[in-house]
């Protein structure tokens, strides 16, 4: 999330709203947060596969490819 925060910014959760293009990923994270009494930031409720999808998305891949391709 640090990279998404630096690219899209944190104001009004821009990194979450702009950096995560898949609404299904957002919905699942939100649903999981509802089960918690003291909810954490929504990125804490993402699954590993969700992170993979975020990294590989067309809009985010340019920011992550150098870290992941050797």
70 residues of the chain, pLDDT tens digit each: 899 999 999 999 999 999 998 999 999 999 999 999 998 999 999 999 999 999 999 999 999 988 877 6
pLDDT of 45 reads 96
Instruction: From 2, 47, 56, select the one nearest 65 (Cα to Cα).
Output: 56
pLDDT of 39 reads 85
pLDDT of 70 reads 61
**Range list of H helices, 1-70:** 2-8, 14-19, 23-34, 48-56, 61-68
Dihedral sign of CA atoms 64, 32, 44, 48 in order: negative
d(CA 51, CA 1): 9
H-run or E-run covering 35: none
């Amino acid at each position: 999330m640090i990279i998404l925060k630096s690219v899209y910014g944190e104001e009004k959760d821009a990194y979450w709203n702009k950096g995560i293009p898949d609404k299904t990923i957002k919905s699942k994270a939100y649903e999981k947060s509802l089960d918690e009494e003291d909810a954490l930031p929504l990125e804490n409720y993402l699954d590993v596969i969700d992170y993979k999808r975020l990294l590989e998305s067309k809009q985010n891949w340019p920011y992550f490819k150098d870290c992941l391709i050797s």
